[in-house]
Amino acid sequence: MNTELLKQHVKKYVKRLQKPSPEHLEELAKRIERRHYYQSWTKEKILAMTLEEFEEYIAKLWAMLIWGNKKYVTDKMIDRHGLDHVKQELAELVWGDESIIDRWDRFRGKVTGMGPAMASEILCHVHPKDCMLWNRPAYVGLNYLGVKNLPRYNYQLSGKRYHELTQTTKIIVRELATAGVKDPDLLTADYFIWEELQVESNLNAIFKSETEEAVAMYVDDSGDNVADFIHDEVRDKLKDIGEWLGLESSTEVKVADGSVVDALWQQSIGNMGRVVYVFEVQTKGSKDSLILNLLKSLNNPAVQTVVAVSDKKQIEIIKKHAFGVQGLKDRLRYWEYQKVLQVHEALASVNEEVNSLNLVPNFNWK
C-alpha cells in the first residue's frame, strides 16, 4: 500500500470532517442507526427471525441498492435453501466460535445468493473492529492505493483472503487515528474509502488491465473447489443478468427429457408463445456430456439458442466436439465466463445508479 498517498487523502478527509455539512451530519446519524440495527441482532434473534424480519434485514443492506425488487433476492435464497438453513448459517457467520476464515468459507460454501458484499457488510456493521466491508468501492479504493492482487470476482475471495484484506484495511484505520479521528474502526475506513478514494469510477479503467490480472483464466486447471465456485457464481449471475434485462430467468431447469440446464432465459411474445435461451456453464467434466445435454435441450421447440459458457481454452475444445453435430452447431453460441462476470458488474453498477434515483418507491419497512 502506498502509505504516502494514503496520508495525503487522510489529511484532506480529516480537514473536511472538521467543518461537517448538514448533509454529512444527517448521514452520520443514519450510519449510527444502521450500526445499532445490525448489532441488535444477536445469534438467538437471528435464529428466531421470521420471514418478514429476514426480508427487512437483507433489504437494508447497501449491497441491495442494485435491486429494485429486493424480495427477489430473499425469495431466491429461501427457495434454494429454506429459511431455517439460511438463518442457521447466517448466525454461524456472524456469531460463530470459529475463526473468521473458517466462518467465511463455511458460509460461502453453504449459502448461495448472498455474496461477499452482503456478507461482509453485515460482518462489518456487527464487528467493525475485526471485519472489513468488501465491495466494488473497496476494490477501487485499495487498487488506487496500490494494493496488489485484489480479488475481482466473488470466487477469488476466500476466508483467508478476506482476513488478509481486513488486516490491510486496518492500516487505513491506524492512519485515521493518527490524524485525529476519534475511535476509528473498519466501518470508519469504509466511509473514508467511499468518500475519498473513488478516483477510478470508470468501468473501462478498471477493466483495462484485465489480461494482466492474476485470475484463474483456465478454470479446469484451478482445482475442483475453485471450479465449483466459479460454476455456481457464473450460473447465478447469468440468472441476474436475465432478470435485469427484463426476461424470466431461472437456474437448474429441466427443459426437455434428459436435459437440465444451468440457466434459462425466456420471454413470452404476445399470443405466439415463448422463446427460450439456455446456458450451460462448463468448468470441468466431460465436453461430450455438455454437447449431449445441449442437444437434448433443443428437443424443446421453444428453445431458440443454446450457449456454452467457459474459458477460452475449453471453448475451443467444445467447438471441436460440436463441429459436425447435426442440429446443434448452427444454434450453439459461446460466451467466456469472465465476460459474463464483467457484464454482471456493469449492469449492477447501472442498476444501483438508477435505483438510487428512487423512481419507484421502495417498500416501507417498519
DSSP state letters, 310-335: E-HHHHHHHHHHHTT-TTTGGGEEEE
Please check whether residues 14 and 112 belong to one and the same domain. yes
Rounded to an integer, the average pLDDT of 158-178 is 97
Residue 171: the pLDDT is 98
Residue predicted with more confidence, 90 or 69: 90
DSSP-derived 3-state class of residue 249: strand
Per-residue pLDDT at 32 exceeds 50:
yes
Residue 58: the pLDDT is 95
Please check whether residues 174 and 251 belong to one and the same domain. no
Rounded to an integer, the average pLDDT of 295-311 is 93
What's the CA gap between 190 and 172, in Å, rounded? 9
Q: What percent of the chain is modeled with pLDDT above 70?
A: 89
Please check whether residues 244 and 172 belong to one and the same domain. no
Per-residue pLDDT at 263 exceeds 70:
yes
**pLDDT band for position 364 (50/70/90)?**
very low
Residue 204: the pLDDT is 44
What's the CA gap between 307 and 352, in Å, rounded? 28
Please check whether residues 43 and 170 belong to one and the same domain. yes
Rounded to an integer, the average pLDDT of 182-190 is 95
Average pLDDT, the chain: 87
Please check whether residues 192 and 231 belong to one and the same domain. no
Please check whether residues 64 and 143 belong to one and the same domain. yes
Rounded to an integer, the average pLDDT of 343-357 is 81
pLDDT digits (tens, 9 = 90+) for 211-252: 444 344 454 445 556 677 788 889 999 999 998 998 999 999
Number of domains in the chain: 2
Q: What is the largest CA-CA distance in the chain?
A: 71
Residue 269: the pLDDT is 81
Is residue 122 within 8 A of residue 202, CB to CB? The reply is no
Residue 365: the pLDDT is 43
Q: Contacts for 128-133 with beta carbons within 8 Å, 24 or more apart?
A: 128/35, 128/185, 128/186, 128/187, 128/188, 129/185, 129/186, 130/100, 130/166, 130/186, 131/100, 131/166, 131/186, 132/162, 132/165, 132/166, 132/169, 132/186, 132/189, 132/190, 133/186, 133/187, 133/190
Please check whether residues 196 and 235 belong to one and the same domain. no
Per-residue pLDDT at 318 exceeds 60:
yes
Residue 67: the pLDDT is 80
**pLDDT band for position 19 (50/70/90)?**
confident
DSSP-derived 3-state class of residue 304: strand
Q: What are the φ/ψ torsions at residue 281 (nearest 5 degrees)?
A: -95, 120
Please check whether residues 186 and 227 belong to one and the same domain. no
What's the CA gap between 227 and 224, in Å, rounded? 5
Q: Which of 276, 327, 267, 331 is nearest to 303 (CA)?
A: 276
Please check whether residues 260 and 340 belong to one and the same domain. yes
Residue 225: the pLDDT is 63
Element at 47 (helix H, strand E): helix 43-47
Our CA angle for 101, 106, 108, nearest 5°, is 95
Residue predicted with more confidence, 218 or 359: 359
Residue 336: the pLDDT is 93
Q: What percent of the chain is modeled with pLDDT above 90?
A: 59
Instruction: Write out the residue range of the structural domain in which residue 57 sits.
Output: 3-215
Please check whether residues 74 and 166 belong to one and the same domain. yes
**pLDDT band for position 90 (50/70/90)?**
very high
Rounded to an integer, the average pLDDT of 160-165 is 96
Please check whether residues 41 and 165 belong to one and the same domain. yes
Of 15-19, 219-223, 336-340, 349-353, give the lowest mean pLDDT range: 219-223
3-state SS of 78-89 is HHHHCHHHHHHH
Please check whether residues 234 and 328 belong to one and the same domain. yes
Domain boundary among 185, 215, 245: 215
**pLDDT band for position 350 (50/70/90)?**
confident
Domain boundary among 215, 230, 262: 215
Which residues 6+ apart lie within 8 Å of 40 measured at CB? none
Rounded to an integer, the average pLDDT of 138-142 is 93
334 within a domain of the structure (yes/no): yes
Per-residue pLDDT at 206 exceeds 70:
no
What's the CA gap between 31 and 38, in Å, rounded? 11
Q: Which of 160, 112, 168, 119 is nearest to 139 (CA)?
A: 168
Rounded to an integer, the average pLDDT of 267-287 is 86
